[in-house]
Structures are given as structure tokens and as C-alpha cells.
Amino acid sequence: MKIDQRDADAALGGEVHAHSSWMLPFFVLLIAGAIGVGVYVFLAGPTVEEVQGNIQGNTYSPTADSDTADLQIDGVLFRVPGNFTKYRRSRSSGEHEDAPMQALLPGLSPWTPGTAAQFSSNAADAKIIHFTLAIDRANLTYQDKFERGIRLNALDFAGEAGPFGLTTFKFGAGTEYANTEWFTAALADGSLLVMRCDASSNPEFGSNCMRVTRLRDNISLTYKFKRSQLANWKKSDEKLLALIESFRPRK
């Protein structure tokens, strides 16, 4: 017996619905497009770290706004203008573990749209100086660590006459400090300046020099600049310390 399509549909208890022939290709294209967008976001979109940085205010975002924020670092108050700060989080008053900042040598001028390129430069002759105030509860200062440990590994314990009134300490190949050069100088207040310069693997970037010191209220100050600016180390150090002092509210 021959069963036609109507008998089959009746037996199944269903109805036959007509569908347009373009629906299936449409859904295939829609799914393919969604996959393509997902791949693009994965490859070109922000990383998890970048998203977290934006949320936490740790993404580099300088500003020309000079409005100040009251930053308390280990209970010590600093009133910091926004145009010296590197991150948005440092422009919110309250407790902070650290406050990363920046300026241009030699005058320690803050960020402006007109000097943005200079602040972004990593060239060997760049004039930017990066400096950070931070909580410091270490038993030994940076100077103590140099005197008690690092200096003992130098080729000459007494050092040798270096450039710009500095004493230079060099280290032999195979030591932990083989690619570094250390400088010291006696300061007017009787303290010892200790500075470390690290050679870069890329000559275009030049060498970076760094000093870490402890301020009078046990706050750490770390600053870094290009070795090409070393000739003015003394004035730069004095101006930076004076700038930090200017951030302290007057009683």
C-alpha cells in the first residue's frame, strides 16, 4: 500500500512547516562572524593585566591637571600635584603603599601635552626622571647594603676616582654585579650617596642609573634616569629632594 506524505505526517502527529532556504546559511555566517570577533578581541584586545590595570588605576595615564591629592604613605602625608603622577590611582587621596611619579630634567618640570613625547622616550639621551615614594620598613638602608655586602665584591674596595666628583666601584666578570657600575659621593649633610648604573643590552636605550635612599621619616625614595644625565647628578638630587619637601603640607 502506498502512503503519501499527508498520511505520514498524520501518523507522526506533526505538521510540516516551510522554511526559507536562506536561514541556514544566515546562521552559519552569524556563528562564523561571532568566532571572528572573538579571535580579534583575543589577539588585538586588552590583556587581562591591562583590564585589571585600568580598573586599579595602574595603567600609565599622565595628566596636565595640577590639582593635588593628599597621599598618606605609612602615615606620612604628601600633597602631590596630579601632573607629576604616572597613574590615575596616585591622584586619589588616601592611604597608598607607593606613589610613582615623573619629571623632566634638569628643571624637574611636570608632564604637559607638549612634552608628552619626551616623557615617553627611552632613548639614551632621554631627560625623564622616574621617582617613587614608598613604604620602607627594611632593617637595612640601600647604603647599608652597599657598605656591608656589595662593596666587598668590588675589584677595588676603596674605589677609584670617577666622573663628575663621584667614586667608582667596578666588578669582575662572573660576579653578580659584572654588568653594573656603582658610584658613591659624600653629601653636604654627611650622608653617603650610593648610585647604581646598569648597562643596557640595547645601546640605543643607553644605561640607566638608580638611587635608593631613606627620607627622614622612613619613607623610601627611589629615582632612575639615563646615565647621559649623570653629569648633573648633584643638582638633580638636590632639586628632587627639594621637590619632595614641597609636597609636605606646611603646618
**Model pLDDT for residues 80-129, shown as the tens digit of each residue:** 999 999 999 999 999 999 999 999 999 999 999 999 999 999 999 999 99
* Exposed / middle / buried, residue 83 (Cβ in 10 Å: 0-12, 13-18, 19+): buried
DSSP-assigned letter for residue 249: P
- The Cα 143–Cα 150 span in angstroms is 10
Q: Which residue, among 230, 210, 232, has the nearest Cα to 222 in the 3D structure? A: 210
Residue 43's pLDDT is what? 54
Partners of residue 43 on adjacent β-strands: none
CB 78 within 8 A of CB 131: no
The model's confidence at residue 3, banded by pLDDT at 50, 70 and 90, is very low
Mean pLDDT (the chain) is 85
User: Can you list the positions of beta strands (E) in the chain?
Assistant: 68-73, 76-81, 94-96, 98-104, 128-135, 160-161, 167-169, 180-186, 192-198, 208-214, 219-226
Residue 91 φ/ψ region, left for φ over 0, alpha for ψ in the -120 to 50 degree band, beta for the rest: alpha
Do you find a cis peptide bond into 106, omega within 30 degrees of 0? yes
Full-model pTM = 0.77
Which of the four pLDDT bands, split at 50, 70 and 90, describes residue 213?
very high
User: What pLDDT band is residue 208 in, cutting at 50, 70 and 90?
Assistant: very high
Give the integer Cα–Cα distance in Å for 124 and 26.
56
Q: Which residue has the cell 646598569?
A: 198
| 176-195: pLDDT as tens digits | 898 899 999 999 888 899 99
Query: How far is it, in rounded angstroms, from Cα 244 to Cα 103?
Result: 12
Q: What is the pLDDT of residues 21-39, one digit of tens each?
A: 666 666 667 776 666 555 4
pLDDT of residue 108: 98
Closest by alpha carbon to 209, among 201, 217, 198, 200?
198
CA-based end-to-end distance of the chain: 108
| Separation between Cα atoms, residue 221 and residue 239, nearest integer Å | 13
In the 8-state DSSP scheme, what is residue 250? Answer: P
d(CA 131, CA 78): 14
The pLDDT score that the predictor gives to residue 36 is 59
Q: What is the reported pLDDT for 200? A: 83
